[in-house]
Structure 1
Amino acid sequence: MEKGVTFSHQSELRKLPVPSLEDTCRRYLRSLEALQTPEEHARTTEIVNKFLAEEGPKLQADLVEYDKTHESYVEEFWEDSYLNGNESVVLNLNPFFILEDEPDKHRGSQLMRAANLTIASLSFIHDLRHEVLDPDLVRGVPLDMFQYKRLFGMARIPMVNGCRQEIDQLSRHIIVLRRGQFYWFDVLDEEHRPLLTERAMVATLKAIMRDADTLSADQVARGAVGVLSTEQRRTWYHLRSALEIDPQNHAFLRIIDSALFVLCLDDTVPQNASELTKNMLCGTYSIQDDVQVGTCLNRWYDKLQIIVCANGAAGVNFEHSSVDGHTVLRYVADIYTELILQFAKSINSSTKSLFQAKPSPDARGQDSKKPIKPRQEVVARTLPKKLEWVLSDEIVQGIRYAEMRLSDLTCQNESHVLHFNGYGKRFITRHGFSPDAFVQMAFQAAYYSLYGRLASTYEPAMTKAFTRGRTETIRTVQPHVLAFVRAWTSTKSSAHDRLNALRAACMGHAKISKECATGQGFDRHMYALLSLWQKHNADNPDAKTPEIFRDQGFKQLNHVVLSTSNCGNPALRIFGFGPVVQDGFGIGYIIQNDRLTVCASSKHLQTKRFLATLEKYLYMVQNDIISVFRAANEFAKSTYVDHAGNECDARTGLPIGIPHMTKAADASQAGTSGYSFYGDGNESYTHVLSSMSLKNVGKLLYVNDYE
C-alpha cells in the first residue's frame, strides 16, 4: 500500500454540526419524560422554555462563533471533562479489553504471549508512523484517524488542578513492569522497525522476570511507585513533584512518560472470568503477612498498558482521555489478527502478515543462517535497564497510603461476567431487531424487573465520521422504553403485546442511535453550552449558572445509573469498565453471531443477581419470539430454507442441526414478577525526546544467559 494512505481521507471529513437549540431542547425533554413524574416534567419544561427565550439564544450564537475557529465545537470541552477531574482514574475512567486466547496453544505461555503481542504492536506502530495502515471505514464511510496519533507515546500528567497530556511521537522504547519494578529498553530503530525478534524479546522478558522475582514481598510493596498513579490527581501531583526532586527520579519519569506503552507481566493466574476482569480493571488484592502482594502494585495507569497474566491470558487497560474504545479496538483486533496469521504461517509459509513492518537490519536475535551483526550501540539500547528509584520517607509513606486507598477501592467494587450462549446476533436480526437496541432493552427490562423503575442510561455513539469526532450520548430511556418495560412486567400482556412493545422500543432506539452518530444528539451540545458559559464567567464568581443546568432534571439525567457500551469484535473475549456513580452499574457488552458477553461492574449492588435476571429475560424473550413465530408459520411442510441458506424448522424458525438452549421454556414458567451496559486540554503539549536524551539510565541487565 502506498505511503500516506492512513490519513488520506482526513480532508474529506465534515465538521461535527452544531445542532439547533430548539432540536436539542426537544430531545432533552423527551429523554427526561420517562424518568420524571408529570409534575417534575412540567417544571423542567417550564425551565427549558425560559432558557429558549432568554439565555439560550445568546449562548447558541456564541457557540456558533466559537465553532468557526475550531475543528470541533465540543472537542476542547469534552476532553477537559476527562482531564479536569480530581478522582482516581482507576475504576472511574480507564476501561479494559480482554483478548481471546492465543490461537496456537503452544505459543500461549506468558513470555511467548507477551513477546508476540509486543512485536505485533511494534508492527502496528511502524505502519501507523509510515502511514501505510489502512484507514478506518464504516460501510464505505471514512472515519477520523487523528486519535491513533495519541495512542502510543502518550502520557497523562497530573497537575494541581486536573491533568495535561504529553506525547512523544518519535518514542522508540517500552516500559516493562514486573512485581512493581520498572524496566525499559529500545524496541524500534530510527525507521520505526522492530529491533528485537521473537527469540530476543522472550529472552529479554525472561531476564526481567528473573531479576524482579528475586525481591521479597516487603521490598516490592515499599518500592511500588506505580501505585501512586492510582491516587487522586492532586495528591499524585504533589507526590510526583516530590519524587522529581531527585534528578535520577526525574529522568526515570521522563522515560516512563515518553514510552510507547507499558507491558505488565503479572504473577497471578485468574481462576474465573470474574477474577480475570478484576485483574484487568484494577489489579488483584492479596494480603500476605500484612503486605500487599496483588497485581494492583504492577500498574501505571497514566498510559496504555498491555497486561499478560502468568497463564497467558492477556488484555489492555487504556488511558481514556486521549482515545475512545473504537480506536483501541482497531489496534487490539489488528494485533490479534497478526497472531492468527503467524499461526497460519506455521501451517502455510506463504501466509502474509497483516503489517508491512520488517525487522530492523540491526534486530537482535535474528534467526537467519547468516544474521547481520547489529551495531554495538543498538545492542546496548535493546538491553533492559532497571529504574532504581531514590525514595524519600515521604514517598515511601505515600506509596503505603496509595496502596491502602487503592485496596479500599478494589474491595468496594465487584465485576462479574455473563456468557450467554442461547443465541446472538443471527437470531436477533433474523427476527427483525437491531442487535444493539435488542440488548439495550434487555438491560432496561432486567433493571425494571429488579427495581420497579427506569434509571438514567448512557450509551456512547461514535461520531468519528466527523473531524475530531469522539462520541455522542444515546439516551436509552425514552417514553417508548417505559411502555415496553411496563408491558413486559404486566401479567395481562400477551406474547404479542410484549413483542410489539419491544419492537417499538427497539425501532425508537435505533432511530436515536442514528441521529447521535450523525451529529444530531443533544448531550454534547448541552455540555458545550454549559462549558462555554463557564469559560465566559470564569472570572465572575457571582455569576449565576442558567437554571436549565441547575434543574433537578439535568442532575437526574447526568446521574448515570446504567453506563453501557457495546464494543464487539471476534478478537475480544470480555470488555468492561467501572460504574460511574455509587448506585450504578458499568456494563460492557459484546454481541457475537451466536452468543452475548456482558461484563457488569458495581459497588456491590447484587451484580450477580442483575446478570441472572438479565439472562432470565433473554431466555423469556426468546420463548416469546419462538411461540409467536410458530403460531404465524404453521406450514404443512416441516422445513424451509431461510435467506442465509440454512434449513430451518418451520414451527420454530430455528436452524436444524444446531443445538439450542432449553432454558427459554423454564424461564417462561418462572416469570419476573417482583424479581421478575470512549484529548488535549486547553493547550497542546508536545514532549518529543530523542533516544540520546534518555541515555542508558538504570541498572543494566544482561540477557545472554537467557537466549
Structure 2
Amino acid sequence: MLNSQTKMADVVAKNVTPKAVNKTMAYQDKLPRLPIPSLEDTCKRYLRALEALQDEKEHAATKAAVEEFLANDGPKLHEALLEYSRDRDSYIEEFWYESYLSHSDPVVLALNPFFVLENDPTPDRGTQLPRAASLIISSLGFIHDYRAGLLEPDTVRGTPLCMDQYSRLFGTSRIPTDRGCRMEVHSESRHVVVLRRGQFYWFDVLDENNLPLLTEREIQRNLQAIVNDADKIPSSEVARGSIGVLSTENRKIWSGLRQMLSADKHNKSCIDIVDNALFVVCLDDTSPQNLADLCHNFLCGTYNLEGGEQVGTCTNRWYDKLQIIVCADGAAGINFEHTGVDGHTVLRFAADIFTEGLMLLARSINPSAPTLFHAKLSPHARSYKPPRGHEQAHKPEKIDTTPKKLEWNLTPALRAGVRFAETRISDLICQNDCQALEFKGYGKNFITSHGFSPDAFVQMAFQAAYFGLYGRIECTYEPAMTKAFLHGRTEAIRTVQPESVNFTKVFYSDATASQKIAALKNACDRHVKLTRECSQGMGQDRHLYALYCLAQRQLRNKYDSEPNGITSSPPSPPPEPARRITKLPSIFTDPGYATIGTSILSTSNCGNPALRLFGFGPVAADGYGIGYIIKDDGISVCASSKHLQTRRFLDTLKGYLLDVQRVLVQLHRSANERPAPFVDHLGILRDSKTGRPIHGASDESSEDDEEVAMPGYSFFDSGEVAKLGRKKKSPFADIGKVIPFPEY
C-alpha cells in the first residue's frame, strides 16, 4: 500500500501503462497530441454556441467581453498555455483531473454513469450466480489480455485510439482526502471484492502472470458460499454495518470517516483490500420490477424500508471503484467511477465480456470453438491439469481462493457515520427520478434510409421534445470522443445552434412537411459538421477551460497542481511579468460563460448491441441527464432529473419521434406516388406503369394511407409554439474470516 501521493504518481507513471512494444499499446507512441485551437477560432465558436441561448442584449454583452479578451488577456493566457503544454502529453489532462477530483459532492448520481447489459441468452445463466460467474471469468480474460499486451487496440474506421484509460479501469480507487480526492492505481491487483447485503467478501482470482485461478463453475461456488453467509444476517442489521454507504457521502465527510476507519489497524487492512481489488461485484438480493426500477438500481441503488430500516440495494455498493452489479433475476450491469475513464473505454470492456460469455458457451459445445481472450487456467489453480506429456515433477503450489469475509471494527462514531450516510443517500434517491423509454417504432435503419445521421437525428429529437414540452431552448451538451489523440478524453458539442433552433420553431409551426424536413436536414448537417470538428479537438469548451484554469493559477500565484495519482507532470514555471494577468478576464465573469457551462440537457450516445440501457444523473438541478442507444430498429433512452417531469419528457419525445416519422413517410409517398391507373379501349383497368390488368374494383383510395398512432400530445395543430416564452495475493492472505465453504 502506498502512503505518499507523490510516490503514487511516480508508480503510476512508471508501472501502470504497459510498454508500447505490445500489441495493445502498439500505436501509443504514434498518436498525435491534442491540438490547441487558435484563440480567434475558439472565440468564434463560443459566440456561435451562445447565439441561440441569449437575447440580443445578453449576446451583445458577451461579444464585448470576448472582444476585450482577444485584445488584452486572451493572447497572454494563450501563449502561457502553449508554453505549459510544450512538455505535456495533453494540454487539458491535468486541468481535467483537477476538475473531477476537486468535486466535493457525492459521486453517486452526480458523476458515476451506468450500463445495463442485455440479458444473457444462455439458458443456464438466467439466474444471478451463473450470470455473475460468467461476467467475472470473462473480465479476468479481458484483464489478462490487457496486461499481457494481447488486447486488440481500439480503432475507429482504421484510426488507432489512445489506450491509456485502460490502465485506470481495474485495480483503481478514488480516495477522498481533506484537499479533494486522488486516484490510486494498483497495477498488480489479483483479487475481487464481492458485496452481498452490504457485507464485504474477497478472494484471489489471478496468479502472478494474470492467469485465472478458478473456473467459471468454481467462481459460482464461491459466490454461492458468500450468498449463504450474507443471507444469515437479519434484515434489521444489514444497513447498520453497510460500510459501502460511506462512499456515497460528500467527499469531505467521507474523507474524515475514512481516516477514522483507517485508524484501526484491522480496518486499515480491510479497506486496503477493497482499494486494491480489481473491481467490486455487487450481488443484489432483489429484482427490479420495471424499467424505471432497473435504471434506479444501476444508477444509485434502490430505496426500500422494512420496519424503518433501509434494506434497499443502495447499501450494497462501493462507488469509488468499477462495479459489476447483478440482480437476483440475473439482470446485470456496470456502474463506474468516471474520473479516469470515459464511456467509450468501459463500453469496450462491457461489450467484450458480454461477447466472451457467448463464445464460452459455444466452446462448451465445441471445444475447438474460438474465444475472444487468451487466458488459460493457471498452473496454481486447484483444478489445473497439465497437458498430456507435460506433467511436472514438482507441481506448482496451489493458491488459496477460498472467499473470506471482511469484518469491521466500528466505533460509535463510525456507526453514526454509516447511519447518517444511509439517510443521506436515501434522500438523494428520493429526490431523483430515473425513467426509461425503449422506443421500438424505428431506429438507425429507418433514419439512415432517409439520409440522416442517426446521432444528429436523435439530438434534434431531444431539442424538439424539450421545446415541445417547455416552449424554450436550453443549453445542451453531448461529448465528442477525442481518443484519436494521446491521452484524449472528450470535447463538448454544444448542440444548440442557430440551425437547430430554426428547426424546432419550424417544426412546431404550420410550415409544410417539406419545409420541416428541410429544416431538420439543415440542423442535422450542422450537427454532423460540429461533431467532426469537436472530435478533431476543434471545440471551444476545453480550450477556454484550460485558459480559465491558467488564469486562476496566476491569480493565486500557484503554478503546480496537487498530486492526483494519475498525471506526473513537470512543474510549471511562473509566467513572465508581461504575460501575467491581474484580474479574471471578463469573458469568464460574463453570464454567458455560466450559461454555456450549465447543461440543462446533458446527453451522451453509447450504443452497442451488448447494452440494453445507459444513463447517468443530471448535471444541473433543473435539467435532465439523458443516455441513449440507437439500435437498428429502436432507440433506448434513459432520462434522469431532480423533481422534473421525467416520464412526461420521455412521452413527449416518443410523440415527436412518431410525428417526424409520419412527416417523413408522407414526403416519401408524395415523391414516389404511383400514377393513377387507366382504362383501356376494352374497358379494362390497367396499371399505368406496367400495363397489367388490375383485378377488383377501381378505387382511388384502395391504398389506404397508414396513420401512425400518436399517444399523448401532437403539436401539428398547436399553432405557433415558437411564440411561447424561453427562460433563461496477495499480501492479504490472512485477513478476513474464513466462511463455511464446501471442498472442491
Deviations 1:335-394 (A, max 9, x none): 0001111223344443210011111122234599999999796443x1111111000000
Cα offset, 1:544, TM superposition: 3.0
- Give the drift of 1:559: 1.1
The one-letter code sitting in structure 2 at the alignment partner of 1:417 is A
Alignment equivalent of 2:267, drawn from 231, 249, 256 = 249
Query: Percent identity at matched positions?
Result: 55
In the alignment, which of 411, 416, 421 is matched to residue 397 of structure 1?
Answer: 416
* In structure 1, C-alpha distance between the alignment counterparts of 2:253 and 2:720, rounded to whole Å: 43
Q: How many Å apart are 1:523 and its aligned residue? A: 0.4
Q: Deviations over 1:225-256 (max 9, x none)?
A: 00000000000000000001100001111111
Asked if 1:703 is matched to 2:703, the reply is no
In structure 2, the residue matched to 1:409 is 428
Partner of 2:476: 457
> Do the aligned partners of 1:304 and 1:319 also contact (CA within 8 Å) in 2?
yes
1:515 aligns with 2:524: no
Q: Distance in 1 between matches of 2:710 and 2:243?
A: 54
2:190/2:730 contact within 8 Å kept: no
CA distance in 1, matches of 2:140, 2:413: 38
Range that drifts further, 216-225 or 520-529: 216-225
Indicate the larger mover: 357-366 or 102-111.
357-366
Q: What secondary structure, in the 3-state scheme, does the structure 1 residue paired with 2:520 have?
A: helix
CA-to-aligned-CA distance 1:454-497 (integer Å, 9 cap, x gap): 1111100000000000000000001111100110111x211111
Query: What is the letter of the counterpart of residue 525 of structure 1?
Result: H
Q: Which amino acid aligns with 2:271?
A: L
Q: How far apart are the structure 1 equivalents of 2:395 and 2:653?
A: 60
Question: Distance in 2 between the 1:158 and 1:674 partners?
Answer: 54
User: What does residue 263 of structure 1 align with?
Assistant: 281
Aligned pair in 2 of structure 1 residues 124, 663: CA closer, same or farther (>3 Å)?
Answer: same
Q: CA deviation at 1:666?
A: 7.0
Q: Does the 8 Å CA contact 1:617/1:667 hold for their aligned counterparts?
A: no
Match of residue 407, structure 2, among 378, 383, 388: 388
Residue of structure 2 equivalent to 1:489: 508
Q: Which runs of 5+ in 2 are unaligned?
A: 1-19, 560-580, 678-686, 690-704, 722-728
The verdict on how the C-alpha distance between 1:27 and 1:3 changes in structure 2, with shifts beyond 3 A counting, is: closer
**Which residue number corresponds to residue 618 of structure 1?**
657
Name the counterpart of 2:306: 288
Q: CA deviation at 1:451?
A: 1.0
1:477 aligns to 2:496 (yes or no): yes
Superposed, which structure 2 residues align to 1:106-145 within 5 Å? 106-145=124-163
What is the DSSP-based 3-state SS (H/G/I as helix, E as strand, rest coil) of the residue aligned with 1:560?
Answer: coil
Instruction: Specify the alignment match of 1:657 in structure 2.
Output: none
Q: Quick one: structure 1 residues 3 and 310, their matched pair in 2 at CA, closer, same or farther if it must change by over 3 Å?
A: farther
TM superposition shift of 1:633: 1.3
Once the two structures are superposed, the pairs formed by residues 59-78 of structure 1 within 5 Å of their partners are 59-78=77-96
Supply the distance in 2 between the matched residues of 1:702 and 1:578 (Cα, whole angstroms). 40
* CA offset digits 1:307-354 (Å, max 9, x no partner): 000000000000000100000000000000011112233444432100
Structure 1 SS opposite 2:556: coil
Q: 1:377 to 1:243 in 2, by over 3 A?
A: farther
C-alpha spacing 1:622/1:557, structure 2 compared with 1 (3 Å) = same
The answer to whether the Cα contact below 8 Å between 1:448 and 1:485 also exists between their aligned partners in 2 is: yes
Q: CA deviation at 1:199?
A: 1.6
Rounded to whole Å, the distance in 1 between the matches of 2:508 and 2:598 is 25
Query: Does 1:34 find its partner at 2:52?
Result: yes
Deviation at 1:540, TM superposition (A): 8.2
Cα distance in 1 between the residues matched to 2:707 and 2:364: 41
User: Which deviations, in whole Å up to 9, do the C-alpha atoms of 1:6-56 show, x marking residues without a partner?
Assistant: 000111100000000000000000000000001110110011000000110
**1:197·1:366 contact (CA, 8 Å) conserved in 2?**
no
Deviation at 1:693, TM superposition (A): 2.6
Q: Is the 8 A contact 1:449 1:674 kept in 2?
A: no
Structure 2 residue 406 is the aligned partner of structure 1 residue 361: no
Partner Cα distance (1:348, 1:330) in 2: 26
Question: Which residue number in structure 1 is paired with residue 467 of structure 2?
Answer: 448
Instruction: Write the distance in 1 (CA, Å) between the matches of 2:387 and 2:538.
Output: 60
In structure 2, what is the Cα distance between the partners aligned to 1:459 and 1:183? 38
Is 1:555 the counterpart of 2:594 in the alignment?
Answer: yes
| Structure 2: distance between partners of 1:387 and 1:672 | 63
Query: 1 CA distance for matches of 2:147 and 2:719?
Result: 56
Paired AA for residue 452 in structure 2: F
In the TM superposition, what is the alpha-carbon distance from 1:161 to its structure 2 partner?
2.2
Q: How does 1:153-302 map to 2 (within 5 A)?
A: 153-302=171-320
Distance 2:310 2:643 in 1: 22
Does the aligned pair in 2 maintain the 1:384–1:702 contact within 8 Å?
no
Q: 1:361–1:372: 8 Å Cα contact kept in structure 2?
A: no
Q: CA deviation at 1:217?
A: 1.8
1:671 aligns with 2:716: yes
SS of the aligned residue for 2:617 comes to coil
Distance 1:369 1:207, change over 3 A: farther
2:623 is equivalent to residue 595 of structure 1: no
CA contact (8 A) 1:199 1:365 kept: no
Paired letter, 1:703:
F
Tell me by how many angstroms 1:190 deviates. 1.1
Matching of residue 96 in structure 1 with residue 114 in structure 2: yes
- State the distance in 1 between where 2:503 and 2:227 align: 55
Matched residues in 2 for 1:602 and 1:352: separation? 44
Q: Deviations over 1:521-569 (max 9, x none)?
A: 1100000000111122224899532111111111111111000000000
> Could you list the runs of 5+ residues in structure 1 that have no partner in the other structure?
641-659, 677-690
Superposed displacement of residue 664, structure 1 = 4.9
